[in-house]
Structure formats: structure tokens, C-alpha cells
Structure 1
């Protein structure tokens, strides 16, 4: 066979192989486009950014064949309507915080954060390894939703106050912008919870319509300028020790995905979950120094105040557990793991971190 004949036949075989391979690839990676409704504005680059991360990770892993296009709160549905939009199939996906929907059922909040639950690491351990996400999805199935962890802020701050909080009595009559489930707990101590959108909090504090407000933490709080109107910045946010955001997916849409796309999607959710916490851990140290420089006065809730909050939370959990099976099962599992987790956490991490903090305060780091 001469060289020209060989090259001609090789080219023909190569072209045939390409023709055969194309349909096979198309079948393996079909073109699918989803819409994701976020509960957050684009200005919250840490939280909203998780939806962008999901979009990028999934698209890159599938050569652009599986696209999950994110939309900010209000672009398709409002921030608090994303749950219903996934359930009825208006969108295939959402990125949200489960405690937004606690009014439908308090079990929603357990997947995100409730007072005196787990830290961010504890939540990851419980959700991934302790059966937490399976329990959450058993509950969510009735709403045609399957969920996977989609971010964490770490322990949040306790909020901005116009006056100091030294005793439990200082909470009585205090009008505070605070999330729904935590607000219900603190009502028992005489606090008056207020539901106010993030963009309206500053004006409410400035005018004295409210006395305090919790938002997230230094990086996000700095953007809203609370330090100018409520200088006392309290820690810790005991109602959000490790708040976990989730990606919600419509079960029909998820079930119709090829198995490799399901795997890519779950892995992308894991990556977005880790990346959000990393962003907060990187950005908050600089932000807290900036806020102190702007006049923020750091304060810590006393043990007496936190003990009163702890007792109020336990009364709330007992109340819900007595009448709600899903809540009782998931909260019971969280409590069991919480005890084990904090036994371990105080042995190694706590002592290491405490020593390193001492050295930092000595100026040795």
C-alpha cells in the first residue's frame, strides 16, 4: 500500500469514527438548561456567589451541556417564594436558607440553623456523615424537593444594638430585627422580633423604629453601615452557630437527569458548600478590624443571658417535638450528635485554637 492510499483510508476511517462518536457523546451529555432562583441579591457576593459557583462547576464538568442559570431574588420570584417555585416546577432549582420557611413547618429550619445547634463543621459532619441530609430529604420529599448542602457562613454575630445588653431584663421590650425561628425563641424573654428586609434595616435603626438588628457577620454587615447607627456589636449569634444554606432541586427534574449529571451536580454542591465558608473565613478577619476602626464596640452576651436563651430554645424544641414527627426525629438526631461532637471538639481543636489565640494576643503570631 502506497503512502497516499494509506493516508486516504486513514482519513476515511477517522471521519467515520468521529461520526459514530458524536451521537454517543450527545447521548452521554445531553443539553439541559435549568433555572435557579436565589433567595439572595447579587450584592451578597459570598452567599449569592454559591449559585454562580454551581453554574460554573457544572458547566465546566459537562463541556457546557448542563447549564444551571442563576437568577437573583426578585428576578423570577421573590426571595421567600423560591421554595414554592421549585415545588411547582416554575424553576428546577433554588439556593436558599431553610429557616425562611419555618412558618410552613419548623423542620425546615433544622436543615439551616436553630439556636444552640451545631457549628459549621458540626453541621457538615452531621449532614454528610450522620444521616442529616437523608433525614432532611425525607421531610422535603412531600414538597417535591431534594436538597444538598450549599454553603455556610460559620458562626454569625449576635447583631447591632443601640444600647448595651447586660442582663436578661435588658431584652424585655427590645425591638429587634431577627429571623423568624430565633425570634420565636427570644419572644419568651420579652424581646419583640421584627421582620424587616435587609435593605430596610439601616433606616429602621437610624430612626429608632427598632433597637437592634442581626444580619450575618463582619464582611456582609460592613456593607450595610450599621456601625453608624447602632455601635454595640455583640457576639456570638447563638441562634446561628453554623447556618447551612441549601440547593433545592425539583425531584422530577433531578430524577430525569442522567446518572453522570446527578454525580456532577452533587459534587458541585459539595464544592460550593466548602467554598462559601472559605470566603467568609478569609474576608471576616479584615472586615472586623475595619468595623472596629469605624467605631464598632465589641461586646459579648453574658453567660446569664445565653443561659436564658438556651432554656427558651429547649422549651421551643420540646413543644414542636411533641406534635411534629419530622421535627422530633431530626432534632433528636442533632441533639445526639451534638453531645458527641462537642465532647471531641473541646479536646483538640478548642485547646489548639485557644493557645494560638493567646499567642496572637501576645503579638507572637
Structure 2
């Protein structure tokens, strides 16, 4: 892909006319010269919530920048800064909102203190899968609501990554009954943390780089992070041998990019289009990477490191479902705007569930029966 892909014919034609008529005339019968683009490089600083070059999360931000830089033909340069290089992980939103940085890459539910509506643009317990949230944002009205939400904070948002279905987490001890959640200190952000609290546990929010030391020191008893690919990289198996899945809390976690609104509005139309499509490309590549790399990493965890896979019981799922429904509904009714997001989200989820019931769900079940093993 190159920069010309994103220039409309009308834009090129307008540029040609402007160049040809710059002196107010054009010799009859002559062909106008090709327009010369003469502008400086637009440099943007993107801060992230991730450790430098962290697989899947940090590299999604790197990919986005690389795609945008390449497609611009050298006229756009996005430089990526890991958490802590300019601001800490949880300060990136304010940095972009206030103009200290131009862009961020992170998970929107980190900003739930600004508005509970942000949860719906990452993941909510028993909510949308990765493909479903992509469908809602791109085609079901989600982007317009997200624009309205982030616009209140001087930010223009985009999807720019998805980790797919996340695992339930790493535990130092087995979780066999609902009572085992009582008193459990677990790193789990977002509304999943609210569910854990209702189960009697203590939810802790930590950035990625803080998790392993907390697990090692005993400050927490368990942690969720993402899935096998990222979890292997952090080495959680060395501290907590029991690996539970699937997770209830993040069935398809959207990662977001936010651009300072004045910066966004100050960009040329072609640079805006490049950033938007670089975000889409990063989103697609991210989901593909997680789908494949999680499978490879899970094999390594089990076969090389002796990780014990566990599942929550049906009794746990039933209770989690009851709690999750109430937690998400309470969040959705927090204020009139969040209620609009909640209604749109679940209208889209329920619409897509109807298709899923006769497509992927039965197909995957039948495929497992057919191929066995």
C-alpha cells in the first residue's frame, strides 16, 4: 500500500488545477505539469500503556506507526514511546487530552474513572467477542458514540488492536468452588474487577510491568493479563502454576488509539485517512497474531513448563453470569450517555448472537466432533 491509495481523484484533480493556475493562466493546448507536493514532515508522538516492544500489545502500537509512516511516503512520522518514557501507563489519556502528547495507544477501560462508558469500548464481562465488537464499532453505530464520548475529552478515537478471547488467569492455588474466590487478591481491571469483588475477592489494578513483582512478592494471589502469548513472555507460570480459561471478563478486548482533537483536525485529509487505515490494519494484524501466537505459546506452557490447565465449574459460571449481568447493567445506567452506549452495545451483541448461533458456534462444535482429538 502507498500514500496514493488514500488520495481521492477529486483531491488529485484539485491539486493539479491549483498548481497549473498558480499564476492565473495556462497556455492553450499545453498539458498541466504534475503537482509537486512540497511540505514538511508531520511528526507525532504516540505514548502507550505498554512496556517497550511487548509482544502483541506494544508491537501493535509499533505496527500502526510503521504502517502510517510507510503509507505517507515520508510526510508523516509517528514515534512510539513506551509506558514511562514520557508519562506513566495510566497517564497517557490525560497527556493526549491536554496536548502533552499527540496520540496514545492503550485499553479504553483504563479511563472508566472519566466515564463508565469507556468500558464498552474495550470489553465487559460476558460481552462481545473480538469480531462482534469490530462489527459494532465499524457498522453498528459504535464509532459515532465513541467519537462523542472521547470528544468530550478533546480526543478522536479508533480501534487499533484486539487480543481476542482472554484467559481467566493465573492462580497460586486451585479455585474449586465459589468460596475459593473469597479473600482472593487478584489483578483484574475493568468491570471484571467488579465481578470479582461481588464474589468476595479483592480486585487490584496494575499496569503490565507491575504484575510479576506483585505476584512474586505475594502482594496478589492471582492475575489475569491477556492470554498464553503475553503470559508466557511475562513468565507468570513461575509464580502461579494453575492457569484457568476461558475468562469471563474479556471475551474480545479492543485496544484503542486516541488522537488529540486539535492535532487531528489540523491534519490534512490524506494524513487523516492514512492514520485511520493504519489503525484498521494494526487492528486486523493484531487479532491474527494473537489467534496464532496464543496457540503456539499454550503448547510451550503446557509441554515445556508443566502448566496445569483448569476451567471454572458450571456452578461458578452460573453465578458469574448473574453477577456480570447486574454489574454491567449498573454501569450502563450510571448516566444518560452511558445508557445510550449500553443500549447500543447490547442491541448489537444480541443481533449478532442470532447469526453466531447458526454459524460459528455450531460449526466449531461439529468440527471438534468430526476431527476429534
**Is residue 159 of structure 1 aligned with residue 208 of structure 2?**
no
2:133 to 98, 123, 130: 123
CA distance in 1, matches of 2:290, 2:371: 20
Distance 1:354 1:228, change over 3 A: same
**Is residue 306 of structure 1 aligned with residue 313 of structure 2?**
no
Per the alignment, residue 208 of structure 1 pairs with: 218
Per the alignment, residue 245 of structure 1 pairs with: 255
Which 5+ residue runs of structure 1 have no aligned equivalent? 1-16
Cα displacement string for residues 222-277 of structure 1 (whole angstroms, at most 9, x for unaligned residues): 12222122111111111100100011001111111111111111111100100111
Per the alignment, residue 285 of structure 1 pairs with: 295
1:26 to 31, 38, 49: 38
TM-score, structure 1 normalization: 0.89
CA distance in 2, matches of 1:317, 1:118: 13
Q: 1:136: how far off?
A: 1.1
Q: 1:209: how far off?
A: 3.0
CA distance in 2, matches of 1:268, 1:361: 40
Per the alignment, residue 243 of structure 2 pairs with: 233
Alignment of 1:277-356 (within 5 A): 277-293=287-303, 294-356=305-367
Q: 1:95: how far off?
A: 0.5
Q: 1:45: how far off?
A: 2.5
CA contact (8 A) 1:186 1:312 kept: no
Count of residues paired in the alignment: 342
Per the alignment, residue 254 of structure 1 pairs with: 264
Per the alignment, residue 10 of structure 1 pairs with: none
Q: Give the 3-state SS of the residue equivalent to 2:74 in structure 1.
A: coil
CA contact (8 A) 1:97 1:112 kept: yes
Cα displacement string for residues 17-69 of structure 1 (whole angstroms, at most 9, x for unaligned residues): 9x9656x3126xx5211111111112412111122222221122221111111
CA distance in 2, matches of 1:80, 1:202: 18
Structure 1 stretches of 4+ moved >6 Å: none
Q: Give the 3-state SS of the residue equivalent to 2:47 in structure 1.
A: strand
Distance 1:45 1:82, change over 3 A: same
User: What is the Cα-based RMSD across aligned positions, in Å?
Assistant: 1.9
Alignment of 1:37-48 (within 5 A): 37-48=47-58
CA distance in 2, matches of 1:145, 1:321: 22
Per the alignment, residue 361 of structure 1 pairs with: 372
Q: Rg bigger for which structure?
A: 1
Q: 1:359: how far off?
A: 4.3
Q: Give the 3-state SS of the residue equivalent to 1:164 in structure 2.
A: coil
**Is residue 91 of structure 1 aligned with residue 96 of structure 2?**
no
CA distance in 1, matches of 2:97, 2:119: 17
CA contact (8 A) 1:36 1:93 kept: yes
Stretch of structure 1 that moved more, 305-314 or 75-84: 305-314
1:132 to 125, 132, 142: 142
Q: 1:103: how far off?
A: 1.8
CA contact (8 A) 1:172 1:189 kept: yes
Per the alignment, residue 176 of structure 1 pairs with: 186
Q: Give the 3-state SS of the residue equivalent to 2:152 in structure 1.
A: helix
Q: Give the 3-state SS of the residue equivalent to 2:104 in structure 1.
A: strand
Q: 1:360: how far off?
A: 4.6
Q: 1:343: how far off?
A: 1.7
CA contact (8 A) 2:332 2:341 kept: no
Per the alignment, residue 79 of structure 1 pairs with: 89
CA contact (8 A) 1:102 1:181 kept: no
Per the alignment, residue 10 of structure 2 pairs with: none
